[in-house]
Structure 1
Amino acid sequence: MIDFRYHLVSIVAIFLALAVGIVLGTTLLQEPAVKSAQEVTAQLTKTKDELRAQMDVLQSREAGNDAVISALTPALVAGDLTGQRVLLIETPGSSAAVREATQQVLDQAGADVTGRVALTEKLLDPAGKGVLDGLVNQFKPANTIFPATTTSWDRAATLLASALVTNDPAQAGTPNTATPDVVGTFEAGGLLTVDGDPTKRATLAVMFAPEKPFEGDDAEVMAGALVSVAGGFDAADKGTVVAGAAATTAVPGDVISSLRDDSEISKGVSTVDTADMPVGRVVLVDALREQLAGRAGQYGIGRGASVPLPPLTSATPTPTTQSGS
């Protein structure tokens, strides 16, 4: 019979064998594993450095192109919008820098910027539709009947547009009789703020889309509300362009994408998704000129854009008989 000492020795031998195997295995595998990891790390570092160099070159090229376009912009847009009055419409989250740069280019094109209207999130809040409907019913002409399919923002946009823009050059620069009350009430209600003298009606409008898409449960509704506002102004003036930056992905809260997806409003309202770049602001002026000729387009590099810029033409735009654009 095998005694206890034999069992003990056997067990110890087994554990010693395991320990020796682990030590030998670790020693044998350590050098190849470390070498492989070092090679992978070196390759990743090399790739990162190459990508960084490529990015630096692209950024330098972009800065150079922007500098050239900025220098040429006054000559490229000179006189394109002479005699036109332009209303600027800011939206919640839109870029002040883009708006200021755009206003400078509009000035260079000969346009008269009448002022700015900044819409607030309160105006876009679905919970406030009752307030909008009440204001519209208070100020709309008695003979105005809205189609049953219109939304609260469609109706509010129609009212605001009638107070701030016109497609009649003879009425440009003059307020509608109801303008002071309409704008004053919307402002008092925290639905918008004004700067300059936008009540002296403009002939064209530029709406600046939010820098980032809306988020949350109401994102799609809020984006749709701004699309309605753009459509309402376009129906009342000689042309409206929505400007901003291209969204990196398709999301429900992106205003420019939402407008491009609206088959009806996109027939009349133009979009430019490169307004954050000097070239995009030149394109915006071209898009406004095209609006004066009764045409619209979706321009830029983002989702839903048809081409980077409108067809180049030297002919003076001839207004069509269409309402708005």
Structure 2
Amino acid sequence: MIDFRYHLVSIVAIFLALTVGIVLGSTVLQEPIINSAQATAESIKKVNQDQRDQISALQAREEGTSAFVANAAAELVKGDLAAEHVVVVEAPGAPSGLRDQVREMIELAGGTYTGRVALTEKFIAPEQAGVVEGLAAQLSPIGTVFPEGATPYDKAGQVLASALVTTAPMQAGTVNTAASSVLDVFQEGGFISMSDDPAKRATLAVVVAPSTPYEGEAAEAQNGAVVSVAGALDNAAAGTVLAGTATASGTGGVIAALLDSGDEASQVSTVDTLDMPSGRVVLVYALREQHAGRAGAYGIGSGATAFEPTPSASPSPPASGG
């Protein structure tokens, strides 16, 4: 008969064997596992460092290119906007940090900067659409005919354009007496703000898109309001460019909305690299192209067809909008 001592010795022997096996197994496997983990970590570390080096190199190249273009900008755009007057219209949320650079580029190209009109959040607020439409009807110059089916912002854009731009070179730099109160009334109502003297009409217009897309249920209507103003300016001027950063040409952006809009997309040019020195040079080229009666979508966004317009001969004044 097997006694208790035998069972105890057997159990101890089994656990001792397991312990010896675990110790031997861990000792044999430990070094290969550690070596493999260390090799993997070193490989990942090298890949990460290589990627950081590539990013640093690309940033250095971009900074160098931007510096070169900025220094050469005066020669790159020299005379491209000679004798032209340019007004800047900002959408709500447009980047204020680019105002000076845009004005400087216009003036480097020989253009006359007439002033800036900033549309306010109130202007594009859906609940204010009826008020905006009422102001447009009240302030429209005698003889104004709104297209059938025009939206409140089509009408407001048309009336604002009558005070801001013209297709006639001889009228550039002069006030449209038939629309002399338009800007003041819109400003008093809190729908726009102004700087310099945008009432002295321009021949070309730049509309600056918001730095980030509008959000919420009203976003589509707000984009539509900005697109309507851009289209109205183009119809009343020798040309208009809607410019912004790459976010404006992405999903929900104003440039993307214009490119999807149909008629305005074929008439108004777009530039989505306004935050780059080269993009501001492209803005001038796009304005010049508009003056020649052509349009295009330029930049790096999905809707862009090229980074810049194709070089062409000096434009002749068009008979109507760009």
C-alpha spacing 1:31/1:288, structure 2 compared with 1 (3 Å)? same
Residues 1:302 and 2:301 aligned together = yes
**What SS is found at the alignment partner of 2:270?**
strand
Q: Deviations over 1:129-176 (max 9, x none)?
A: 111111112112454342343221111111111111111122211212
CA distance in 1, matches of 2:230, 2:72: 30
**What SS is found at the alignment partner of 2:163?**
helix
Aligned to 1:95: 95
Aligned to 1:65: 65
CA distance in 2, matches of 1:12, 1:179: 105
* Contact 1:120 1:192 survives alignment (8 Å): yes
Aligned CA RMSD, in angstroms, stands at 2.7
CA distance in 1, matches of 2:22, 2:191: 73
Aligned to 1:216: 216
Aligned to 1:137: 137
* Contact 2:162 2:176 survives alignment (8 Å): yes
* Contact 1:233 1:240 survives alignment (8 Å): yes
* Contact 1:99 1:208 survives alignment (8 Å): no
CA distance in 2, matches of 1:3, 1:130: 102
- Higher mean displacement: 214-223 or 258-267: 214-223
* Contact 2:243 2:274 survives alignment (8 Å): yes
**What SS is found at the alignment partner of 1:59?**
helix
CA distance in 2, matches of 1:70, 1:250: 26
CA distance in 2, matches of 1:248, 1:12: 76
CA distance in 2, matches of 1:157, 1:25: 81
C-alpha spacing 1:17/1:306, structure 2 compared with 1 (3 Å)? same
CA distance in 1, matches of 2:30, 2:15: 22
Q: Deviations over 1:79-132 (max 9, x none)?
A: 111111100112222222323112111111111101111111111111211111
* Contact 1:246 1:303 survives alignment (8 Å): no
Q: Structure 2: state its 5+ residue gaps.
A: none
* Contact 2:250 2:301 survives alignment (8 Å): no
Please state how far the C-alpha of 1:25 moved relative to its aligned partner: 6.6
Please state how far the C-alpha of 1:29 moved relative to its aligned partner: 5.4
Please state how far the C-alpha of 1:19 moved relative to its aligned partner: 8.0
* Contact 1:164 1:179 survives alignment (8 Å): no
Residues 1:320 and 2:298 aligned together = no
Residues 1:42 and 2:39 aligned together = no
CA distance in 1, matches of 2:54, 2:201: 49
Aligned to 2:283: 284
C-alpha spacing 1:11/1:182, structure 2 compared with 1 (3 Å)? farther
* Contact 2:120 2:192 survives alignment (8 Å): yes
Question: What is the TM-score with the length of structure 2 in the denominator?
Answer: 0.89
C-alpha spacing 1:200/1:10, structure 2 compared with 1 (3 Å)? farther
Aligned to 1:241: 241
- 1:147-162 pair list within 5 angstroms: 147-162=147-162
CA distance in 2, matches of 1:186, 1:31: 78
CA distance in 1, matches of 2:166, 2:248: 35
Residues 1:257 and 2:256 aligned together = yes
C-alpha spacing 1:32/1:165, structure 2 compared with 1 (3 Å)? same
Identity of aligned residues (%): 52
The code of the aligned residue for 1:310 comes to P
